[in-house]
Amino acid sequence: MMPQRIRLQWEAAIQHPKSIIGSQIKREPVEATERYTRWINNLTHEQLLTQIFTSHGPTVIMPTWFCSREWFCHVGRFDEGGKGVPEDLLFFYEHLRKDGGVFRVDQCLLLYRYHPQAATHSVLEETIWRYRVSFLEERLLSHWTCFTIWNAGKQGRKLFRSLSQANQKKVVAFCDVDKNKIMKGFYTYEDSKEIPKPKIPILHFRDASSPFIICVKLDLTSGQFEENLNLLELKEGVDYYHFN
């Protein structure tokens, strides 16, 4: 950690006593997890709360966390289930359930080393997926009457299949830019026990209605996806949330 870390985060914690205080980081080696590092360091302070559903996990990473012991005990401490348990993600979710905030000191206060034996690699992707979908349904979808899944491909369809039946029925459409998927017209949920099988329309993103759950990875398409999203002039945290 950098010499000024404790002082700066303590000062922030005094101002935000019910928040997890994080910081910006630098990676060693520098080229490790470049997209993730950019995400962690460049989220706006609003996005620290709007991007809590993404596959990147907590919007301030656990090695940078700082909070009072009182708040830590109020949230409920860590899950001690051991190897394979995403204890940081579970604590972060419980923190948010108890109306905790998220704040980042916008200075690099930690050198974060990457190595292939890190415990984070022992957590299965499917384990994290189940927790993420459950939290998405609890925090957002249970309060919505309808929504569109942005991505008619593999990730969008996987999300649809993972939802409860009640939330599946709220999906009014998929949207995409892929002409072949749009021309197909519908996604048929073949695993459904309903007769006839549910068919969900596939629309061009300009023809779809908000709110959106976006299942497109950020920072991967040379800015094309982000440009398409900006065209719609939507507000993050109101009209859409990122899930991937």
Rounded CA-CA distance 79/88 in Å is 8
Confidence tier at 120 by pLDDT (50, 70, 90): low
Average pLDDT value for the chain: 95
CA separation for the pair 207, 175 (Å, rounded): 8
Q: What is the pLDDT of residue 51?
A: 98
Q: What is the token pair recorded at 9?
A: 């985060």
Domains for the chain: give ranges and CATH numbers. 5-126 (no CATH), 143-242 (3.40.50)
**Residue 193 pLDDT > 90, yes or no?**
no
Identify the pLDDT of residue 9.
98
> Given a cut of 70, is residue 121 above it in pLDDT?
no
Query: What pLDDT score does 178 carry?
Result: 95
pLDDT surpassing 70 at residue 119: no
b/e map of 71-83 (b: 16 or more CB within 10 Å)? beeebeeeeeeee
Give percent above pLDDT 90 in the chain: 85
184: pLDDT strictly greater than 90? yes
Pick the range with the lowest mean pLDDT from 27-36, 113-122, 166-175, 219-228: 113-122
Rounded Cα distance, 202 and 157, in Å? 11
Residue 157 tokens, joined: 């369809």
**Weakest-pLDDT range from 12-21, 25-34, 80-89, 141-150:** 80-89
pTM across the whole model: 0.94
